[in-house]
Amino acid sequence: MTDPRLTPLAAALPATVPFTGPEALERRRGVAFRARLGANESGFGPSPHAVEAMKRAARDAWMYGDPEVQELRDAIAERHGCDPAHIVVGEGIDGLLGLLVRLTVGAGTPVVSSMGGYPTFAFHVAGFGGRLLTVPYLGDSPDPEGLMGLAREAGARLVYIANPDNPMGGMHGADVIRRMVEGVPEGGLLVLDEAYAELAPEGSLPVIDPADPRVIRLRTFSKAQGLAGLRVGYAVGPRGLVAAFDRVRNHFGLGRVAQAGALAAIHDEGWAREVARRVAEGRAALGRIAAANGLAALPSCANFVAIDCGRDGVFARAVLDGLLSRGVFVRMPGVAPLDRCIRVTVGPEDSLAVFAEALPGALEEAGAAG
């Protein structure tokens, strides 16, 4: 029964969330997963320096964190060669997307994204009454020309793209993204989700002026830095838009321990490079596992690999269910034809070994059922 006090918009929203967490799945199954390879976390963990910084900060956890997040903003700004006024820090990219949509989207505001792309953006657009317009993937990648063409046609306020992409893992080169920035319609904004930036090939990302009013870029400490459990992300964008986040953000949303861990992590560039190296090795290992089972791994610039199961979404879902029943947590894209794939996060060798052991049985079971 719907609570009668909800606004008409809230009452009309579907009672769903973008993701079902592995903990919820474990509760349903009554047993823990043997390999956690579905949430694109870093099984390699955070920098030892970040761990020590969090331990020290834990003693002061009785205090709120700095509501201006000044030290961390200064460090991020130094990394990007800009003034801290171009940086806003928040509770992960997901939290920042919610604030951005709240600031820019009202009832019926047109917004453009990819059909089957990262679902949290669409979740926020629906939550604030926006009108989501989607463009199908072009092959296994978002369609930049299609996105910008629809944005110009509709006069879209926001155009969202993840680069590297989630859920398929590929990426567009710097020239393509620069052309997207040039194609932003008057009064629009390109929302460039760069969650996997540190894992992309060196030199492959575009250089964008933080003051450019046509684009906002989002980064996270959840991937290469291994701090998904802290929920720390940031955006780089024009001063006026960044300043507007202060009107709606939770000023004490980022705790003292999270700020300390993220600050230590951003100073430990060597750890992020080491994680990127391990991820590249893991992507290659997943490619070999897929090939050994007659499957194809799609090229990836992220910390996961989309593996083409060779048939349709019904078959891929059966494979995924078979893996879950064997204690391996993975996910899959939700829209055809992307849903012919399962998506497997890169993890430590022991986790990938569990996946390699479970996959043949899951495939055999799915084939017998189909």
Q: Encode pLDDT of 207-229 as tens digits.
A: 999 999 999 999 999 999 999 99
- Output the pTM of the full model: 0.95
Q: Encode pLDDT of 163-208 as tens digits.
A: 999 999 999 999 999 999 999 999 999 999 999 999 999 889 999 9
User: What is the rounded CA–CA span in Å between residue 181 and residue 192?
Assistant: 10
pLDDT at position 244 is 98
Residue 15 in this model has a pLDDT that exceeds 90 = no
Write out the CATH class of domain 8-45+270-369.
alpha beta
Report the chain's C-alpha Rg in angstroms. 21
Residue 370 in this model has a pLDDT that exceeds 70 = no
Residue 234 in this model has a pLDDT that exceeds 80 = yes
User: What is the rounded CA–CA span in Å between residue 185 and residue 158?
Assistant: 9
Q: Which fold has domain 48-268?
A: Aspartate Aminotransferase; domain 2 (3.40.640)
Portion of the chain with pLDDT greater than 70, in percent? 99
User: What is the rounded CA–CA span in Å between residue 222 and residue 196?
Assistant: 9
pLDDT at position 314 is 97
Residue 19 in this model has a pLDDT that exceeds 90 = no
- The arrangement of strands across the sheet holding 296-297 comes to 296-297, 304-308, 341-345
The values of phi and psi at residue 257, to 5°, are: -65, -40
**DSSP H helical ranges for 170-247:** 174-182, 239-244
Q: Encode pLDDT of 29-76 as tens digits.
A: 999 999 999 999 999 999 999 999 999 999 999 999 999 999 999 999
* Total residues found in the chain within this entry: 370
Q: Work out the average pLDDT over 116-133.
A: 96
Q: Work out the average pLDDT over 124-137.
A: 97
Question: Is residue 233 a contact partner of residue 91, using CB atoms and an 8 Å limit?
Answer: yes
The residue ranges of DSSP E strands in 115-232, in sequence order, are 131-135, 158-162, 189-193, 215-220
Q: Considering the chain, what is the average pLDDT of its residues? A: 96
pLDDT at position 12 is 92
Per-residue exposure over 178-211, b if at least 16 CB sit within 10 Å of its own CB, e if not = eebbebbbeebbbbbbbbbbbbbeeeebbebebe
In this structure, the number of other CB atoms found within 10 A of the CB of residue 145 comes to: 13
pLDDT at position 315 is 98
pLDDT at position 2 is 82
Distances (CA, A) of 151 to 94, 157, 176: 22, 8, 16
Per-domain boundaries in the chain:
8-45+270-369, 48-268
